[in-house]
Amino acid sequence: MHAEYVIIGAGSAGCAIAYRLAEAGKKVIVVEYGGTDAGPFIQMPGALSYPMNMKQYDWGYESEPEPHLGGRRLVTPRGKVLGGSSSINGMVYVRGHARDFDNWADMGAQGWAYADVLPYYKRMESWDDGGHGGDPSWRGKDGPLHVSRGKRDNPLVKAFVEAGAQAGYQTTDDYNGEQQEGFGPYDATIHNGERWSAYKAYLKPAIASGNVTVVRGLARKIVIEDGRATGVEIERKGKIETIHATEEVIVSASSINSPKLLMLSGIGPAAHLQEHGIELVADRQGVGQNLQDHLELYIQQAATKPVSLFKYWNLLGKAWVGAQWLFTRKGVGASNQFESAAFIRSKPGVDYPDIQYHFLPIAVRYDGQAAAEGHGFQAHVGPMRSKSRGSVSLTSNDPSDAPKIKFNYMSHPEDWEDFRICIRLTREIFAQDAFAPYRGHEIQPGADVQTDAELDDFIRDHAESAYHPCGTCRMGKASDPMAVVDPECRVIGVDGLRVADSSIFPRITNGNLNAPSIMTGEKAADHILGKAPLPRENVGPWIAPNWEESQR
């Protein structure tokens, strides 16, 4: 039960770190509480609404009652399975905008500007444009992570991009390339019709190398002796054991579980730890603070023609889709159905996109309940850079208790303005000629919901998390009292301990967080190995030339 490195969490970042350490000949133990990812619900992209609602694969967390959302508790799925949340997510692959990372560097995460992280994005990808054009010079060709595009043969998927162009927006062949802004095709972590999780991309080959062992157990706390992390105390099969690390302990347990584990180990806000009778090792006020997420609304429109995926939304249809996928890895089941994307700016004076769209050719809820009225389509839309901040804290000093998660959604007045803009811009897009052959009535919010007050009521009742929590162990300068890790992911005030996952993001990035989480693991691995970072690539993103005067 000892290795050079012990990684806590077999999720997006942890799998990437294990792979790179194994490649360098290091001995690694990965501690993961969840079990195997075997089973059709995880492997079949079209079944994505199932795994995140299954106790077997999900930690089952939910937020505290959210004061600005009418006291609703929002579910907070986190992967409890090999591959972590990359095994239960929507498989949408978004690097984030170049300006997001430049902003990280400005906030004290030196060495994490876009010029620094782009080489890691290239190193990790094997990108297949699926014949839809793209930006190959910005993309990776032989990395472990397969990224591909859906067939995009549903007429609604094309209509969404055409409608965007008709409304005066840019189109882009590759939002992960030079130009994020605009309407175009989505990238997904899907390979040969199957989900390509961080487990498949990284951990499976790392285990096969003989240098990595996975131990199933619940990490209770990090063992710290004389200011140095020396191992991890775990519980497995009812017994408490210690796994020793001769070099370092790396926490990659998610933006919810990483701060929880640090606090259980005595690293966090002194007063909060004292309250729970935990001996203080390092007083880091930022642990568990700075929690951020993306909220979104589903704007749903009925379709007048049977062109949506609703035709499969019955027992026979699902059986057909399942059988086709099982035997051929093709058809509707081989896509996550998020095939058209858009990143736009909300108003003049915003220099890069702050609204994201996921278009879906069916009117359906995230838990898989289809709209009762039949054929339809929807856009998931939400602001990217909310100023609201929440926290993760301990409910007790018992490692088996869930932490207290308070997002504090919609606590900043600008959030309400941003969401109203999102709804009105979406209605305008759906009103374009491209949708004329299919457009029925608006299912939600509904044509009668028009005033600011009516829209606010709809937002309060219907805003949902996009499941992008991050920021709770923020990276920054070692002198920053609210930073938890330095720019090499080392926990400030404790030797031999790092955190590398979405919890270290200083600020949330544009879009879905799986790609930046894996990139964080890739880059952290070089820091852990003491390697020189990959050479910077000084290329600038496309920024709308008229951004100061115009919204599009």
Judge whether 455 and 449 are in contact, CB under 8 Å. yes
SS (H, E, C) 68-83: HHCCECCEECCECECC
Region 128-142 average pLDDT: 88
- Does the annotation place 94 within a ligand binding site? no
pLDDT tens, 367-376? 667 676 789 9
CA 77/CA 188 separation, integer angstroms = 19
pLDDT tens, 264-315? 999 999 999 999 999 999 999 999 999 999 999 999 999 999 999 999 989 9
Render 438-496 in DSSP notation, one character per residue. TEEEEEES-TT--SHHHHHHHHHHH-EE-S--B-TT-B--TT-TT-SB-TT-BBTT-BT
Residue 338 lies in a domain: yes
CATH number for 36: 3.50.50.60
Region 109-137 average pLDDT: 93
pLDDT tens, 411-461? 999 999 999 999 999 999 999 999 999 999 999 999 999 999 999 999 999
Sign of CA dihedral 336, 523, 30, 483: negative
What was the pLDDT predicted at 134? 86
Catalytic-residue membership of 468: yes
- Does the annotation place 89 within a ligand binding site? yes
Residue where the block lists tokens 């044509």: 447
- Does the annotation place 1 within a ligand binding site? no
Count of Cβ atoms closer than 10 Å to residue 316 Cβ: 8
Residue where the block lists tokens 């088996």: 400
Residue 524 lies in a domain: yes
Q: Among 390, 508, 410, which residue's Cα sits nearest to residue 455?
A: 410
Helices (H) and strands (E) in the chain, counts: 13, 24
State how far the alpha carbon of 180 is from the alpha carbons of 256, 520, 539, in Å: 29, 20, 14
Residue 159 lies in a domain: yes
Residue 360 lies in a domain: yes
For residue 114, pLDDT over 70 is answered with yes
Looking at the DSSP assignment, which residues form a beta bridge with residue 303? Answer: 439
What was the pLDDT predicted at 372? 67
What was the pLDDT predicted at 34? 97
Judge whether 314 and 160 are in contact, CB under 8 Å. no
What was the pLDDT predicted at 131? 78
Residue 72 lies in a domain: no
- Does the annotation place 91 within a ligand binding site? yes
pLDDT tens, 57-110? 999 999 999 999 999 999 999 999 999 999 999 999 999 999 999 999 999 999
Residue 542 lies in a domain: no
State how far the alpha carbon of 24 is from the alpha carbons of 19, 192, 372, in Å: 9, 29, 54
Mean pLDDT, the chain, whole residue set: 97
Residue burial 159-175, b: 16+ Cβ < 10 Å; e: rest: bbbbbbeebebbebebb
* CA dihedral of residues 142, 147, 149, 150 (deg, nearest 10): 130
Residue 540 lies in a domain: no
DSSP state of 502: G
* Domains in the chain, number: 1
Strands 228-236 and 239-251: antiparallel
Judge whether 191 and 145 are in contact, CB under 8 Å. no
Structure-block tokens of residue 8: 């806590």
CA 449 to chain centre: 31
Active site residue: 97, 146, 468, 527, which one? 468
What was the pLDDT predicted at 417? 98
Q: Determine which helix (DSSP H) or strand (DSSP E) holds 183, and give its type and residue range.
A: strand 182-185
For residue 45, pLDDT over 70 is answered with yes
DSSP state of 536: P
**Three-class secondary structure of residue 345 per DSSP:** coil
- Does the annotation place 81 within a ligand binding site? yes
Residue 534 lies in a domain: no
Give 368 or 49, the one with higher predicted confidence: 49
What was the pLDDT predicted at 368? 65
pLDDT tens, 136-168? 999 999 999 999 999 999 999 999 999 999 999
Which residue range(s) make up the domain with 185?
2-67+77-135+144-529
CA 153/CA 252 separation, integer angstroms = 38
